[in-house]
């Protein structure tokens, strides 16, 4: 169950409506996930908000795709400004449409992550984008030394963590995801090259 205000629920409902409508032409989520969108996608992304401090923060969502997790975080935490980076033009148009439609405080950047000028975000987030060592390589240019990283990961998370430690030093807290199947949220900080 997702506990949010009535206004937030209405905006999330509208986002889901748009996501499902656009999904038929630009493949934002798998067709089989459409019937479980609330538990598989919305609730899972909403959990990131539990690990974002109360102060207003700048967020960088790398590889935003259909807005998971960036749109969900922006709708759940309107005090945040979310920068969503998406290289696929059609998906970037979708994100811009959603932001305008539901009134999200966000910037949509239609470019490759490597090509975007440094954002200096307080928190870097991503879901289903790349292995952990690659996420660090992409995210560090958009972060500050004090930034926190929140990544939604699947059953290979432990392998990715060990692999990343060969190249990177970082602090780590693992949070079990309610999504099941060994998925988790990785809360990372103090990221620097080993």
Domain membership of residue 1 (yes or no) is no
Domain membership of residue 183 (yes or no) is yes
Instruction: Tell me the CATH number at 104.
Output: 3.40.50.150
Tell me the whole-structure pTM to 2 decimals. Answer: 0.95
User: 51: alpha, beta or left, given left = phi > 0 and alpha = psi -120 to 50?
Assistant: alpha
Residue 181, pLDDT score? 64
Q: Tell me the DSSP string of 88-154.
A: -HHHHHHHHHHHHHHT--EEEE-S-GGGSPP--EEEEEEESSS-HHHHHHHHGGGEEEEEEEEEEE-
Q: What angle (nearest 5°) sits at the alpha carbon of residue 51, between those of residues 77 and 63?
A: 70
Domain membership of residue 76 (yes or no) is yes
Over residues 172-188, the pLDDT tens digits come to 999 987 665 678 999 99
How many domains does the chain divide into? 1
Give me the phi and psi of 184, to 5 degrees please. -155, 165
Over residues 83-113, the pLDDT tens digits come to 999 999 999 999 999 999 999 989 999 999 9
Domain membership of residue 100 (yes or no) is yes
């Amino acid at each position: 169950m997702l506990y949010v205000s009535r206004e937030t629920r209405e905006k999330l409902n509208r986002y889901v409506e748009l996501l499902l409508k656009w999904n038929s032409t630009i493949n934002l989520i798998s067709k089989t996930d459409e019937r479980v969108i609330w538990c598989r996608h919305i609730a899972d992304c909403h959990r990131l908000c539990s690990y974002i401090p109360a102060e207003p923060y700048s967020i960088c969502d790398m590889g935003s795709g259909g807005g998971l997790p960036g749109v969900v975080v922006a709708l759940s935490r309107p005090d945040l400004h979310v920068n969503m980076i998406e290289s696929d033009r059609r998906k970037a148009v979708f994100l811009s449409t959603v932001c305008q439609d539901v009134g999200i405080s966000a910037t949509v950047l239609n470019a490759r992550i490597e090509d975007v000028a440094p954002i200096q975000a307080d928190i870097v987030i991503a879901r289903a984008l790349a292995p952990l060592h690659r996420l660090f390589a992409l995210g560090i240019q958009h972060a500050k030394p004090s930034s926190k990283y929140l990544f939604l990961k699947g059953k290979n998370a432990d392998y990715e963590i060990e692999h990343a430690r060969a190249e990177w030093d970082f602090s780590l807290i693992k949070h079990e995801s309610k999504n099941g199947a060994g998925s988790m949220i990785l809360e990372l900080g103090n990221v620097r090259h080993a």
